[in-house]
Copies of this chain bind each other. A is one copy, B any other.
Amino acid sequence: MLFLARMDAALPPDLDPEVKADYLAREKAYCVELQERGVMKAIWRVVGENANYSIFDLDDHDELHRTLQGLPLYAFLKVTVTPLAKHPDAVDYYLKG
């Protein structure tokens, strides 16, 4: 089942650059792995904002919460999750390449 997540990041402006780089590297590795497993179907940057919209495909709320909570940047994120159903006008429930 698909969920749309919106994540707004608020990293402290005075975060040590090296610590920040480490966070971002671990976040990227984590997200790439989710995409390779097909759990994260897509992730986009909201133009101009420290925010993303991402699509998750999981069948269990607990697993989705653990997956989100596992994001290295989770402590700095404000996340909202919207459950998505198949739209009557959609050709496919899943995403077009």
CB A70 to nearest CB in B, in angstroms, measures 12
- Return the CB mask of A50-92 against B: 1 if under 8 Å, else 0: 0011110001111011001000000110111111111111111
Task: Please name all residues of chain B whose beta carbon is closer than 8 Å to the beta carbon of A43 when the two chains form the complex.
Answer: 87, 89-90
In angstroms, Cα B14 to Cα A32, docked, is 26
In angstroms, Cα B96 to Cα A36, docked, is 10
- A: interface residue count bin: 35 or more
Interface residues of A (CB under 8 A from B): 1-5, 12-13, 24, 27-28, 31-32, 35-36, 38, 41-49, 52-55, 59-62, 64-65, 68, 75-76, 78-97
CB-nearest residue of chain B to A94: B97
